[in-house]
A and B are shown apart, each in its own frame.
Chain A
C-alpha cells in the first residue's frame, strides 16, 4: 500500500474495490427497506395527443395498490426548474396533452409488480391524436403543429446567430475551403444499471436511494416540486451503476417515486426496465451541422462557418447548453480568424434529448475534424502537421473566450503519430482497404453553467481511531472520484490510503456539492478536498507543534513529526477544542477564481479554469465484400496535466473512446412513428470485448497551475475524438468521406458500390408473376395502406393477456412430454433463453412449461447405423460445439457465433431452431402483422429494414428465421425428427418451418432430434456470418458444404443463406451449377448473382444484403477451396 505524501500519481486500488468485486456494494435496488412497494409508469403510446379523459379509479381498486399519481397531484403550473428561467418548460406528469411516445401520464405503487402492472392496465385514458412532428424539417415546415409557445419562432426553442473574431478578415484570407453536412444521431447512454430509485417519505422527510451522479439536482428539484425545504430531502450514499451524464440532473422517475411515496408513506421502488431505459431516458441530442472551413494560402485555418439544427425533443432540459457547448468547441481548439454560426434548437415529438458525456462536442467534432483533414489535403499537408500548425496555444485566450493555461495538443499529436505508426501505415507499403485517421479533442474541466457552478465544498475529518474521512456531497457513478478525493486527502495529510474513507452524496453527512457533471469531479472536488485537507494539515501541525514543543513539524505516515519525536494524528484529535464525538472536522468551500459565468453579460466568458486536450489515431480495415469496418489499432494520447491515479485515468480514456467508437460504428436509436424500434441490447450494438481493439493510452503530463496538483479533466474528452478519427481512417482506407454516423455495413457497402460505379442489380419483377401481389402491396404501403393498418387495423390487434406459469413439468420420456403438450397452454422449455424472453415481451404466456432436460434420449448424441448421427433436441449448444469440434467443424464454428458462452451453456438445439423471429418491430411491442394479426401492418415495409429483414421471398411479414443452426444443418442435409401423439416423422430443415422462426408442428408435437447424414461428417464446410457484434443474429450468413473429390471436383455442394429470406435459402442455380465442377470464387459469385437477380425481391433499404451475400459467398468458397476456417483466416 502506498504511503501518504505520494498518494498522488499512484494507481491505488479503488476504495470500494472489495465491495464492487464481490457483489456486496449496495446499488439503489439492493436491500430495499422492508415494506417497499413496486412502482410502474403509464406512458403515452402516441407521439402527440390531447388527453380527453383520464380515469384511475379502477386502478385504485386493484388489490395491493397503495397509490396512483397523475398531474392532478401536483400544483397547477409547477414545472421542473432545469436550467431555469424561460428554459423551464416541463411539468412532472403530462398535463392535458402528451408530447412524445413514453410521456409519463400516471404512476402507481403496489405490493407487487404484478399488481402494479395490472393497475396500469386498468387506467383509462382517451387520447385525441394530433399531428406529430418527428423530424426537424417537419417541425420547421410551415403550418406544423407547435409544441410550445416559443419566442424564437414556431418550434424553435432557442436560436442563436453570432460570430467571434473578424469575419471580413477571415473571408479575405480564405483561399481553400471545404464543406459538408454532418449528422450525429440520437444515442443512448445504456448505463448497465437501469435508472433506479427508492423514495421514502417518512418523518416529514423524503429519503432517497437513487442512482444519481448529482444529488444536488435531485434535492433541489424535489424540494421545489413538492414545496419542501432543502433539508427535507436527502439522498443516501449508494453505488451508482454508470451515468455518463444521464444521471447528472433529476430524472422523471425520481420525482414520480417521491410523489407516490408521499401519497402513501411507504418506500417506493421505481426501476426502469431495459426497454424503458432505451426508449424513454434522454439520449444524446441529434445534430445536423452544415459546416464550412476555409484556410489561407499557407494552410492556416481562417474561418469556420456553421449552420446547426439540434433536435431538442419534446422539452428543453439542457438542450440550450448542449447546443452552446457544441458551438463553443469551434472556437476552442484551433486558431481561426473567425467563427460564425447560425443554430437552432428545434422541438420535435420525440423523447427529449439530454446530457451525454461530451455534451454537444462529439456532434460538432465530426464536422470540424473531418474538414480539418479535407483542408489539409487541399493544402497538400499531412493531417497531423496541419493540426499541429493550427493548434491553439498555451497561455492564450481563444476566440470562444476560453482563457487557456496549459495546452499540449501539439505534443499529443506528435506522440500519436508514432504510437499508431502513422508514417509507415500511410507510406508506399500500405495495404489495400486499410487506413489510418486522426482527430484532436478538447474539453473544459468543469463549467460555470449554473449559479454556484464555481464552488465546491468538502469536509475532512480525523478521528481518534486514526481514520481520515473525506466528506463530499457529490456522487461517484463510476468515475473513480471517491478514490481520487481519498488520494488527495491522503497525500496532503501524509496518511496511508488504507486509513482513508470517503462519504459521498448524503447531505446529512456531507456539506452540499453540485456533483459530478461537466468533467468537474477532479477539478472542483479535488480543489475542495485539497483545501480542506490543507486546512486540516495546518491545524494538525499546530496541535502537534504544541504537543512536541517545536514549531518545526511535518506530517508523515499518520504522524506529526519533528526532528526528535512524533505524535500520531489520532492522538491530537482530543487536544483540539473544536473536536466532537472523537473527531476533528474541517469543512471548507472552494471558489474557483478563474471561472466566469454565462449569465452576467460577459461577452465571451471563460467558463472553466483549465482545458484538457487529446489526440486519437485509429487504424481500420474495411471489408470490400461486406462493408464491415474492423478497428485494428487505436492510440489515445492525452494532455492530462497530472494523473492523480493513472490506472483510473486510463480507464476513463479507454471507456470514453469505446463509447465514441460505439456511436461511430453502430449505435443509433431508430424510431418508427415516434416510437423506439431498437429498445434492447440485442438490437443496439453496444461495443463488446470482441468488437474493440486493445486501446493504447499515453499520458502527457506537465504543469497546470490552475488544476489541483496540476490535474486536468478526463471524464468526457476521450469520447469526442473517437468518431472523427474513425471517419478519417475510413476515408484513408476507401477514399470515401462519410458524413453521417453510424457507419453500419449497409452504408459502407452501398458507398463502395457507388464509388466503383456498380450498376444496381435488376430483379425482373415484370417477368415474375409470383411476386406481383406482394410488389403491388408494397408499392401501395406509402399510399394509404400503412396508415390505414397502423391507425385503424391495430385497433383490432390481438393482445395476449398476461398469465402466470402454474406448473413446470419435467417428463422423463418423450411420451410423457408429448402427453403434457396436449394442452394448448403448454410450451416446451429447453434452456429458457427465448421462452422467458418472449414472456417478457408479451408474446407468449404459457401456463405449463414442459422441460426436456430430464429426457435422457433427448440429451444424447448417438451414432446411428450407416454413420449418421442423431443429436438429441435437448443437447445444449455448448455440448453440441464440443461434440462437433473435430467431427463437423462448421457446426462448432457456427455455434461459436451464437449469443454468449453463458447462453450456449443452457440453450438447446431445439430451442435454437424454434426461437421466434427477431424482427425488431415484432419483438419490441409494435402491433405488427405477426404480433397483432391480419389487420395490422408490417412495420418493416416502411420502417427501418436495412439490417434484420428479408431481401428474398418476403411476404406480408418481412422477418427472417434467426436460427444459425437451421442454416448450417440445412447445408449439411440434416433431417429433423418430430414426435407427437401419432408417432414420429422426419422432415427436412426447410420442411420444419412454416414461416420465419415458426415451426410447422402438429398439435402435441415436439422436436425430438436432428439427424446428420454420414455425408455431413466427410464434407468440407465453411460458415461465414455478417453480424453487428459477436453473438448477434445474422444480418446475412452462409453455410456452405461440399464433398471434394481427389480430382478436386465438387459433388453434393450446398450453399445455404441465413438472414436473407423467411427460411434458410438455397440459391437454385448455384446448387445446380456447382455439381461436378472445380469452382472458383468468381464463378460462384457470377452464378449467385443470377440467382439473386431472379429470386430476390429486396426492400429499398436492404438491397445491400444481396451484395453482402455475394461477398460472403466469395469468402466461403475460398475457405472451402483452401480448407481454411474463419478463425485461421483472422489470425
Chain B
C-alpha cells in the first residue's frame, strides 16, 4: 500500500501536508500561500484553481493527501505567464481581482495544452471559473490575445 506524502511541493517550496482530511486549499493557506482564494469551498467557482503537475484543479475539493505532483499557484507561475498577466491588465480582465488568480492559472493551463484555440473554445474551457465583476468578455479577450501571440511566436521560432 502506498503512503500519502508528508509534505507538498508548492511554488518551489516544501510545505507540510497537514492533517489527513485537509484539503489542498486549506494546506496552502495555512502554509502562508494566499494566492488561491476560497470563494465557495465546494468546487463550484474556480477561485481556488491551482496547477497540480500541469493539470488545473480546484484545490478546495482536493484532498491534500492525494497530491503527489508539484503544486503551482498564481504566485508561482513566474515569467512563463508574464504575457498572460499583462494581457489581463491591458484588457481590464479583472475588477475586484478575487477570481483572478484562479482565472490566470486556468488560462495558463488551457494555453499550455494548446495555443490553437478558437474563441468558443476559450469560452468553454474557462467556463468553470466564475467572475461576478467582469461579465467575462474581457477575460476571454485577454486569453485569446495571448493564444494568438504565443502561437505567432511559436511559428516564428520554427
Binding site for B on A (CB under 8 A): 11, 13-14, 16-27, 29-31, 189-194, 239-244, 273-274, 477-480, 647-648, 650-652, 654-659, 680-682, 686-690, 692, 694-695, 804-812, 816, 829, 831-833, 836-837, 839-840, 849, 851, 853-854, 878, 896, 899-903, 905-906, 1030-1031
Contact = CB atoms under 8 A, between A and B. Distances in A.
Given A17-B89, A192-B39, A899-B43, A242 B132 contact: yes
A325 to B, nearest CB: 22
Contacts of A24: 35, 75
B7 interface: no
Given A22-B74, A192-B130, A837-B42, A658 B98 contact: no
Contact of A478 (B88, B95, B127, B140): B95
Nearest to A30: B34
A21 B90 contact: no
Contacts, number: 275
Contact of B2 (A11, A681, A688, A854): A854
Contacts of B154: none
B14 interface: no
B100 A687 contact: no
A853 B5 CA distance: 14
A801 B157 CA distance: 60
Contact of B39 (A16, A193, A688, A853): A193
Given A190-B132, A682-B44, A902-B46, A20 B97 contact: yes
A239 B138 contact: no
A808 B20 contact: yes
Interface string B103-132: 010100010000000010001111111111
Given A21-B100, A689-B139, 18 more contacts: A17-B89, A18-B85, A194-B39, A648-B92, A650-B138, A651-B92, A654-B136, A688-B127, A688-B130, A694-B119, A804-B20, A810-B3, A837-B43, A839-B21, A851-B4, A896-B124, A903-B61, A906-B55
8 contacts: A22-B85, A190-B132, A192-B39, A242-B133, A810-B1, A833-B58, A899-B43, A902-B58
A280 to B, nearest CB: 16
B128 A22 contact: no
A21 B127 contact: no
Contacts of A26: 34
B1 A242 contact: no
Given A21-B89, A647-B91, A687-B135, A806 B66 contact: no
Nearest to A906: B57
B149 to A, nearest CB: 16
A899 B43 CA distance: 9
A955 to B, nearest CB: 28
Given A16-B97, A244-B132, A808 B85 contact: no
A682 B42 contact: yes
Contacts of B94: 14, 17, 20-21, 478
Given A14-B89, A23-B75, A853-B66, A680 B44 contact: yes
Contacts of A687: 135-136
Contacts of B92: 11, 14, 480, 647-648, 650-651
Contacts of A1030: 124, 127
B42 A805 contact: no
Contact of A13 (B44, B90, B140): B90
Contacts of A23: 34-37, 73-75, 100-101, 104
B8 interface: no
A243 B133 CA distance: 9
A881 B154 CA distance: 28
Contacts of B43: 833, 836-837, 899-900, 902-903
B66 A805 contact: no
Interface of B: 1-4, 19-21, 23, 32, 34-47, 49, 55-58, 60-63, 65-66, 73-75, 77, 84-85, 88-92, 94-101, 104, 106, 110, 119, 123-140
Contacts of B37: 23, 27, 192-193, 241
A906 B2 contact: no
Contacts of A13: 89-90
A240 B44 contact: no
Contacts of B73: 23
Contact of B99 (A192, A659, A807): A192
A686 B20 contact: no
Contacts of B65: 808, 849, 851
Given A16-B97, A854-B2, A1031 B127 contact: yes
Contacts of A686: 130, 132
Contacts of B75: 22-24
A658 B132 CA distance: 9
Contacts of A244: 132
Contacts of A18: 85, 89
A849 B135 contact: no
Contacts of A694: 119, 137, 140
Nearest to B36: A23
A829 B63 contact: yes
Nearest to A829: B63
A241 B49 contact: no
B94 to A, nearest CB: 5
Given A30-B34, A31-B34, A903-B43, A654 B62 contact: no
A619 B87 CA distance: 30
A24 B104 CA distance: 13
A808 B1 contact: no
Contacts of A906: 55, 57-58, 62
A899 B128 contact: yes
A137 B75 CA distance: 53
B61 A836 contact: yes
Contact of B127 (A658, A812, A900): A900
Contacts of A29: 34, 38
A681 B45 CA distance: 7
A244 B135 CA distance: 13
B98 A241 contact: yes
A654 B135 contact: yes
Contacts of B45: 192, 681
Given A192-B130, A241-B97, A808-B63, A836 B23 contact: yes
A263 to B, nearest CB: 26
B66 A816 contact: no
A808 B35 contact: no
B123 A242 contact: no
A809 B2 CA distance: 8
B16 to A, nearest CB: 15
Nearest to A1029: B127
A654 B128 CA distance: 19
Nearest to B139: A689
A902 B42 contact: no
B82 to A, nearest CB: 10
A655 to B, nearest CB: 4
Nearest to B21: A805
Contact of B96 (A192, A692, A839): A192
Kindly name the residue among B3, B75, B106, B138 whose own CB sees the greatest number of chain A CB atoms within 10 A. B138
A689 B97 contact: no
Contacts of B124: 689-690, 896, 1030
A260 B64 CA distance: 32
Given A681-B44, A905-B57, A816 B21 contact: no
A90 to B, nearest CB: 27
Contact of B62 (A478, A832, A854, A896): A832
A17 B88 contact: yes
Contacts of B131: 192
Nearest to A806: B20
Nearest to A274: B40
Kindly name the residue among A190, A688, A899 whose own CB sees the greatest number of chain B CB atoms within 10 A. A688
Contacts of A654: 134-138
